[in-house]
Amino acid sequence: MLIPMPSSRLTRLLAGFFASLLVVSWSVSQEKSDPGETDASPAETGVVEKVDVHLVQIPIIAQDRNGRPISDLTPEEVVVKDRGKKMEVAFLDPFVSEIERPGPDGEVRLYVNAPGGWDGVVTSEGDAEPRYMVLLIDIENDAKLRRPAAMAEVKQFVDDQLDSSFRTAVMSYNGHINQELSFTSNKEAIHSAVLRAYSRAPRPDLDLNARVRGLISQFEECQEGETTPYSFQRDADEICLRNVALQYSDERRQFSKDYLDALEVVIRYAGGLKGRKSVLALSHGVAAEATTEALEAMKAYFGNTEQVSTLRLSLIAGEGSRIRMDEIMNLAVRQQVTLHFVDRNSAPTGVTGVRQDINYMPGARPMQAAFEAPQVDLEEIATHTGGVFVHSPQEVYKGLTHAINLEQGGYLLGYYVSEYLSPKRLRKVSVGCKRKGVEVVHRRGYYSSRESSGRALNGGIRLGKGVPLEDDGREGLFMPFKIVVDPETLGYQEFPDAGAAEATLTVHFRVETEEGRPLADSYHFLSHAYPLELWEKGDVEPIIINGWVELPPYDYRLVAVVRNARTGVGGELTTAVSVPAAETGTGPAGQRQ
């Protein structure tokens, strides 16, 4: 049963997003009357335990002098140094794999009966490794002009640049996150989702020019004494200046918090995927802190006086929302989610001009500062996670294409250390390349998450009776399955006020070859709860998700990655299946323990 979420702001934001994924209640158990179900015990296989490790991970991008990606970098060519000491590279995983591996001669079909995902049958397509991408369309912070043209360019990008290897989800942001489409390679569905995203209305807000001019007007009211219109000698009430600056920063901080909370939802949404994943956001963003633009507006009217300098030191002393931004970046790195940002907004007019009959002080650029502050933050988030920030005014297609092409030169670099390094030392880690003409762009490293070594995911994949395929002359088996998971190993959280134990679950089910090549996959993101009274008694049934596969002759692995997105607790369940030619389909066919 589904139970309302607790009342914290971020949890309400998550709850609102999760609710948008569900149209019917989802049951955690099914009667044992499904066709083809076997009474055999579930295959309790593939349990993955997480242990503490001293592993530093660094997302990097390798490119040549012209900014073109380098896709064939090897670990031997990479040089990692910590304060001058050379470190041994443990691995260098490319974001985009170009290795072709063998597979079955025939189409694999997969269906998973769970909410919060693509609700159709998934089929295997092509030989390339799947690339998971969330296309995030920011309605609230995007320029209002030329939106129909921008939407047309996004659709063109989907048609021209996203081949069958891409699994694309579409989300929109208009003050909160909306899921328009779960992961699919169906381009018609992606087009429809883009249209829905652009049809949403943003929250009411002043445009940049009006906002900054209004702020300067408030600072004018802090003036003490008389002055001529063109005089640059103005005194102010420092208490008034401080109060106006703090009030403005507090107002803008809420917009920043909403935006960063939304990014967290997107990262956690993508984080449950097995494989490399990226977020491609069409957004101008929101500055983590509005203090800089407030001080620049203050300077525009009063100049860089001793009063302004004193306030500058006190107002920028706290880190504020930048702590939250740092948490978002580290979360993305831990979950191996790369964030790219494409900003199509043009700089505002009047960045250095005259307001009515009062000149801005020489050198003051308040509107420019307010415009550039979000871009600086987005660039830091992007490069920290192995992505890029592209400012492409009014050229959406070009910007999106450039961002996704650079993934060809993206890697996740890892090395082991004997002790945990301080954040200051991690910032001083340098990454270079022995190959001439190759530039490596990177940010500081981050440790792999420290998980309890005593906790494991309990569950398995039950295979039903295999039935020979008969349609269209195809050879192979139709086989039902159940994913069975013990909820107590997923870290459900107890909320007495709501009377529930809750979790936000990601379920990524994949059909792979025995060698590990992905063939078909289905991803689901859902909110789930048990009544608290039953949870505390331990009287809860396991989570059961039904599905089926159609498999031509070959050796396979069925993989279910189940994870609590709120806590990061979860694991991987696997079972092997062999489908020989001319299989009769008796019993739980082909299962190998």
Residue-level pLDDT, tens digit, the chain, 593 residues: 333 333 344 444 554 554 444 333 334 443 333 434 444 444 444 444 333 447 888 888 898 888 888 989 999 999 998 878 899 999 998 887 766 678 898 899 999 999 888 888 998 876 677 889 999 999 999 888 889 999 999 999 999 999 888 999 999 999 999 999 999 989 999 999 999 999 999 888 778 888 888 888 888 888 876 655 555 567 778 888 888 888 888 888 889 999 999 999 999 999 999 888 899 999 999 988 888 888 888 888 787 777 777 777 667 655 566 788 988 988 888 888 989 999 999 887 654 444 444 566 666 778 888 899 999 999 999 988 888 899 999 899 999 998 888 888 888 888 888 777 776 677 778 899 999 999 888 876 767 644 333 346 889 999 999 999 876 678 899 999 999 999 988 989 999 998 999 999 999 999 999 988 899 999 998 888 999 999 999 889 999 999 999 999 999 999 999 999 888 888 899 999 999 886 444 444 455 43
pLDDT at residue 12, as a whole number:
47
Token pair of 338 as six digits: 């790369």
Distance between CA atoms of residues 108 and 123, nearest Å: 6
DSSP assignment letter at 506: E
Read off φ and ψ for residue 419, nearest 5 degrees: -145, 155
Provide DSSP, 239-302. Answer: HHHHHHHHHHHHHHHHHHHHHHHHHHHHHHHHHTSSS-EEEEEE-----S--HHHHHHHHHHHH
**Rounded Cα gap, residues 581 and 104, in angstroms:** 11
**pLDDT score, position 265:** 93
> In this structure, are strands 554-564 and 570-579 parallel, antiparallel, or unpaired?
antiparallel
- Tell me the Ramachandran region of residue 275: left when phi exceeds 0, alpha when psi lies from -120 to 50, beta otherwise: left
> 257-281: b or e for each residue (b if 16 or more CB lie within 10 Å)?
bbbbbbbbbbbbbbbbbbbbbbbbb
The Cα–Cα gap between 79 and 81 comes to: 7
Enter the DSSP assignment of 344: -
Instruction: Write down the pLDDT at residue 183.
Output: 92
Q: Determine the Cα–Cα distance for residues 284 and 294; give it in Å rounded to an integer.
A: 19
Dist. CA 142–CA 285, nearest whole Å = 8
Q: Specify the pLDDT at position 452.
A: 35
Q: So where are the chain's domains?
A: 9-51+454-592
d(CA 111, CA 119): 8
Q: CATH number of the domain at 9-51+454-592, please?
A: 2.60.40.150
Burial class (CB in 10 A: 0-12, 13-18, 19+), 224: exposed
